Structure 1
Amino acid sequence: MFRNRSNTMLSERYVRLFRNGKNQAVRIPREFELNAQEVIMRREGNRLIIEPVPPKGLLVVLAELAPLEENFSDIDTRLAPLDDIDL
């Protein structure tokens, strides 16, 4: 269920299909807009399902980062040496 600007529940609306080049297209009415830049579209029987792409997890984002080219200075050069510890 969706709500329009007057907070009324909306569950369906009739819209027209049209051609955009070789593709069939549909204009999504404002009250059905998705807060996303990308969507996943799939067919289930005679239904067409459109859902926002879920946000990437932190591990995926970190794996996509390029390695750092910067050389970091050795910050512990002025510290006293560590004592050996027997465990």
Structure 2
Amino acid sequence: MTYARVFQSGNSQAVRLPKEFRFDVEQVEIFRRGDEIILRAIPSTAEGIMDILAQLPNDFMATGREDPPSQKRESF
């Protein structure tokens, strides 16, 4: 397992990434997934988005999704 060092940089916390984890972009997307913090290059094309979608597990939404019942509303 590879580790990274966490340190303070001004008022921000920073992480020094090992060489093999370097990004080739100037900005990354950051988000939490459970107790993980994920960093990834921001997809700028449809191809990039398709690559991200391809990483979803095979059983993603296998049981479908639960939609609320339709609402009756007045016509415009």
For normalisation by structure 2, the TM-score amounts to: 0.53
Aligned equivalent of 1:18, options 2, 7, 10: 7
The amino acid that maps onto 2:36 is R
Residue 31 (structure 2) aligns with: 42
Aligned-partner Cα distance in 1 for 2:21–2:40: 11
Determine which structure has the larger helix proportion and give its number.
2
| 1:56, distance to aligned residue in structure 2 (A) | 4.7
Aligned-partner Cα distance in 2 for 1:46–1:19: 21
The amino acid that maps onto 1:43 is R
Residue 32 (structure 1) aligns with: 21
For normalisation by structure 1, the TM-score amounts to: 0.47
Aligned-partner Cα distance in 2 for 1:31–1:43: 22
3-state SS of the aligned residue for 1:50?
strand
Q: Kindly indicate whether the alpha-carbon contact (under 8 Å) linking 2:5 and 2:17 is maintained by their aligned counterparts in 1.
A: no
The percent of aligned pairs where both chains have the same amino acid is 35
The number of residues matched between the two structures is 46
Residue 40 (structure 2) aligns with: 51
Q: Tell me, which stretches of 5 or more residues in structure 2 are unaligned?
A: 47-76
CA RMSD of aligned residues (A): 1.5
3-state SS of the aligned residue for 2:20?
helix
